[in-house]
Structure 1
């Protein structure tokens, strides 16, 4: 019999996190699931940690290092569940996460994509992720457009999203040509075709450790270019604004890297009406000023002060 959920975890060099991540899945109050772990050629002790855990629901696979997109696709291809629950190898679920998603599915059986709110772990405790849903209230359920809801932070993440397998049949899986940010590219394709059932409860903890790849400046050449969506943007204003906000992030990253060619490519595609005053100001600053702002922002985060150009 098929499990209700397949929990899909791609693993690369997370030996200090994967045990607690798996324990957070094992502690779920809803028990009808399998766990698919795909080790993407880890060079640390990640494999030993997983193999030290005796739990019949874990199905373990390993491959040579091919990148996160490839490992996530391998997990998808090996999954047997009625729904696929995405989870990064260093994040945590509250014990009622799957039970809550299960209730959302029963309440909205004609929908295909489900998500919860996220808390972000920082050096000074956890902070709630903020979304661009009008009059948003704690604990409420919303059926929303992905793009309109994600102008501040993405409504979908790699640890808070559950999809019906038919979604991947329609949208395709992760783009293996994108080394970093392949999840954003997938969310765009999902947002084109599906509404999101979202509950504003922070049932996922995004762990933002110093050793996390997410806490480093990534190369802009490894990021999505968004070139495939130009025609659709022209007829979908909310999608255009969402992608322009992502282009803004890529343009700022280009400035941090002194990559003028990439900056020009992203900046010229932006409709400045989709940016707020802070974002417009930052795009006009020289790279040296942008770098000062960036490192100042990172430094004061350790004091519990969080600045954002998106609100």
Structure 2
């Protein structure tokens, strides 16, 4: 009988031939060795499968399916996992060698929690990096987050590739929603954080690698609208959660304004409690859409040369 691994690393794979080898090597080179890797090849049309097979490591389990989307692929990997802890990883992100050891120690020190995460950094052109900035959580803090939604108002606390979730939690929240084309990860985090403690490490142990300089696309925003009205009852009794959801409304309203869908933008903006917005956010939304678009392009260009600023923090 095979020994159950401590972690099951679940990687959805779709046309990532340029990145998947580096991603997998970052897993295979972990100092903590007790893991399996489950790759769900979601109908790739490039050379991704051959690259995975060339690594020829017995810990890698490869399953190929017709393209059904990232949520379906993740769910299938989770359901086939042999371990009690699911470490999520996207096929173009990477871990530092101590990531799984960091997550293992976090689980041992803070058992029976809903979600475990490490800090992460953004990497631009594989050279310039920026660590995530979290509200009211000191860089050296390690443990349960006192107010998850209040602390989630700067950079997101949770990045998919820096996350470990007990397998039974996925069953509790019905896995990733396959009907959502975007925002499915945020939807899952919210469901977990409303019911369970989220624990964070003080270590930066994963890299979110940004390869392209592009604006978000409004068609990908549609899935996020579904989330906005899903938790109205919980918002009524939790001011921090209400503000967090208003920040999501604001981001979506801006996205629609940038893409000249003014009616949708204004209807979402109207639903925001304006007390949850600061003066800079209100000013930015009042600008012409073309000017907002130029500001985002400028921000993206500056990110890629190591100059970082937030448009509406």
Asked if the contact 2:110/2:143 (under 8 Å) is kept, the reply is no
| 1:219 to 2:218 alignment | yes
1:172 Cα offset (Å) = 1.8
1:55 Cα offset (Å) = 0.5
1:227 Cα offset (Å) = 1.7
Asked if the contact 2:17/2:47 (under 8 Å) is kept, the reply is yes
Alpha-carbon separation, structure 1, partners of 2:245 and 2:48: 35
Structure 2, unmatched stretches of 5+, are none
Alpha-carbon separation, structure 1, partners of 2:148 and 2:169: 14
From 247, 250, 270, give the equivalent of 2:249: 247
Question: Which residue in 1 is equivalent to 2:133?
Answer: 130
Asked if the contact 1:152/1:310 (under 8 Å) is kept, the reply is no
Question: Which residue in 2 is equivalent to 1:141?
Answer: 142
Question: Which residue in 1 is equivalent to 2:67?
Answer: 65
Question: Which residue in 1 is equivalent to 2:273?
Answer: 271
Q: What SS does structure 1 have at the residue aligned with 2:280?
A: helix
- With the length of structure 2 as denominator, give the TM-score of the two structures: 0.93
1:277 Cα offset (Å) = 2.1
Using the TM superposition, name which of 296-305 and 6-15 deviates more: 296-305
Structure 1, unmatched stretches of 5+, are none
Question: Which residue in 2 is equivalent to 1:308?
Answer: 310
Alpha-carbon separation, structure 2, partners of 1:86 and 1:22: 12
The aligned runs of 1:35-184 (5 Å cut-off) are 35-123=37-125, 125-134=128-137, 136-138=138-140, 140-144=141-145, 145-184=147-186
Q: What SS does structure 1 have at the residue aligned with 2:61?
A: strand
Q: What SS does structure 1 have at the residue aligned with 2:291?
A: helix
Any runs of at least 4 consecutive aligned residues in structure 1 with deviations exceeding 6 A, and if so which? Answer: none
1:263 Cα offset (Å) = 0.7
What's the RMSD between the two structures over aligned residues?
Answer: 1.6
Asked if the contact 1:7/1:33 (under 8 Å) is kept, the reply is yes
Question: Which residue in 1 is equivalent to 2:293?
Answer: 291
May I ask how many residue pairs the two structures share in their alignment? 306
Q: Once the two structures are superposed, what CA deviation does each residue of 1:67-100 show, in whole Å capped at 9, x if it has no partner?
A: 1111111111111111001111111111111111
Asked if the contact 1:8/1:36 (under 8 Å) is kept, the reply is yes
